[in-house]
Amino acid sequence: MSANAFVVIAEFQVKAGQLDAFLTAAQDDAQHSVTDEPGCRQFDVICPEAAGDTVVFYEVYDDRAAFDAHLETPHLERFRKAFPPLIVEERPVRFATRQHP
């Protein structure tokens, strides 16, 4: 993986009582992203401590083109259909360039 890979950070505030359902949908997207997409190098689903029902995605792609290909996948479409009734808020997605390692 290149040191300057394309990083995507997405954050969601999940409705009370919906965390398990949200995580199931998120894990399906994450697993298929890493398994089925040659340009997806990492896709972590993170629950920060003391952050209530917040879930963060940390995704690493070879480049922007690999992320753009991710946007067209069937597993992302499943996630897009599943998550809206499960969340309070989807925070703005952040993009970054990985500097290390």
For residue range 5-38, what is the model confidence (pLDDT) as tens digits? 999 999 999 999 999 999 999 999 999 999 999 9
What distances in angstroms separate CA 73 from CA 3, 66, 78, one per listed residue? 25, 11, 9
Compute the half-sphere exposure of residue 18: CA atoms within 13 Å on the CB side of its CA. 18
The whole model's pTM is what?
0.93
> Across-strand partners of 56?
11, 46
| Tokens 């999940």 sit on residue | 14
pLDDT digits (tens, 9 = 90+) for 33-86: 999 999 999 999 999 998 889 999 999 999 999 999 999 999 999 999 999 999
Task: Name all domains of the chain by residue range, CATH numbers in brackets.
Answer: 6-97 (3.30.70.100)
Q: Find out whether 53 and 16 touch, Cβ atoms under 8 Å.
A: yes
